[in-house]
Structure 1
Amino acid sequence: MNLEHLQTFLSVATTSSFTKAAESLDVSKGLVSRHIQKLEEHLGAKLFHRTTRKIDLTEAGHELFLKAQQIRMLSIEAEMRVKDLTHDLSGELKITAAPEFGQMLCRTIIPQFVSQFPEVDLRLNFDVDEKSVESGDFDIAIRAHEKLPQDVIAKNLGYIRNVLVCSPDFIAQHQATELIDIQALPFVLNNYKSEWNSLDLISGSQEFHVNVTGNLSANNYQTALALVMQDLGVASLPYYQVEEYLEQGRLYPLFPGWSVRAQKLSLIYAQKRVTPKKIMTFNQMVLNLLGERKQYLLPA
Structure 2
Amino acid sequence: MDRLRALEVFVAVVARGGFARAADALDTSPANVTRYVAELEAHLGTRLLHRTSRRVSLTEAGEAYYERARTILDEVAEAEAAATASASGARGRLRINAPLVFGARHLAPLWPRFMALHPEVELDIALTDRIVDLVEEGYDLGIRISRGGSQHYVSRKLATSHNVICASPDYIARHGTPGTPADLARHRCVVYGYAPEPETWTFLGADGAEVRVRVGIRLRTNSGDTARAVALAGEAITWQPDFLIGDDIRAGTLVPLLPGWRLPDIDILALYPSRRHLSAKVRLMVDFLADAFHGPLHRWEAAG
Task: Calculate the TM-score normalised by the size of structure 2.
Answer: 0.60
Higher mean alpha-carbon deviation, 165-174 vs 101-110, is at: 101-110
Q: Provide, for residues 187-245 of structure 1, a one-character-per-residue CA deviation record: whole Å limited to 9, x for no partner.
A: 01123346043222236544452222213211222221222222110111111011122
C-alpha distance 94-287 of structure 1, shift in aligned 2 (>3 A) = same
> In the alignment, which residue of structure 2 is the partner of 1:27?
none
> Paired residue for 1:201, among 198, 203, 213?
203
Q: Provide, for residues 244-300 of structure 1, a one-character-per-residue CA deviation record: whole Å limited to 9, x for no partner.
A: 222233322223664311656542112366422221122123333444568769xxx
> Paired residue for 1:190, among 192, 209, 217?
192
Identity of matched residues, %: 22
> Paired residue for 1:247, among 236, 245, 250?
250
> In the alignment, which residue of structure 2 is the partner of 1:275?
278
> In the alignment, which residue of structure 2 is the partner of 1:220?
223
> In the alignment, which residue of structure 1 is the partner of 2:142?
141
Q: Residues 96-107 of structure 1 correspond to what in structure 2 (within 5 A)?
A: 96-106=97-107
The amino acid of 1:229's aligned partner reads L
1:233 partnered with 2:236: yes
C-alpha distance 107-266 of structure 1, shift in aligned 2 (>3 A) = closer
Name stretches of at least 5 consecutive residues in structure 1 with no aligned partner.
1-76
CA distance in 2, matches of 1:285, 1:80: 19
Q: Contact 1:199–1:261 (CA<8 Å) still a contact in 2? A: no
CA distance in 2, matches of 1:224, 1:80: 46
Per the TM alignment, residue 131 of structure 1 is displaced from its structure 2 partner at its CA by 2.3
> Paired residue for 1:211, among 196, 200, 214?
214
CA distance in 2, matches of 1:78, 1:107: 28
CA distance in 2, matches of 1:277, 1:78: 9
> In the alignment, which residue of structure 2 is the partner of 1:284?
287
1:259 partnered with 2:225: no
Q: Provide, for residues 123-176 of structure 1, a one-character-per-residue CA deviation record: whole Å limited to 9, x for no partner.
A: 2212111223223621111224678464x3223568752111222211222221
CA distance in 2, matches of 1:95, 1:127: 11
Q: Contact 1:160–1:265 (CA<8 Å) still a contact in 2? A: yes
> 2:204 is paired with a residue of what secondary structure?
strand
C-alpha distance 272-84 of structure 1, shift in aligned 2 (>3 A) = farther
The amino acid of 1:187's aligned partner reads C
The amino acid of 1:186's aligned partner reads R
> In the alignment, which residue of structure 2 is the partner of 1:129?
130
Name stretches of at least 5 consecutive residues in structure 2 with no aligned partner.
1-77
CA distance in 1, matches of 2:150, 2:140: 15
Compute the RMSD of aligned alpha carbons.
3.4
Q: Contact 1:200–1:207 (CA<8 Å) still a contact in 2? A: no
> 1:87 is paired with a residue of what secondary structure?
helix
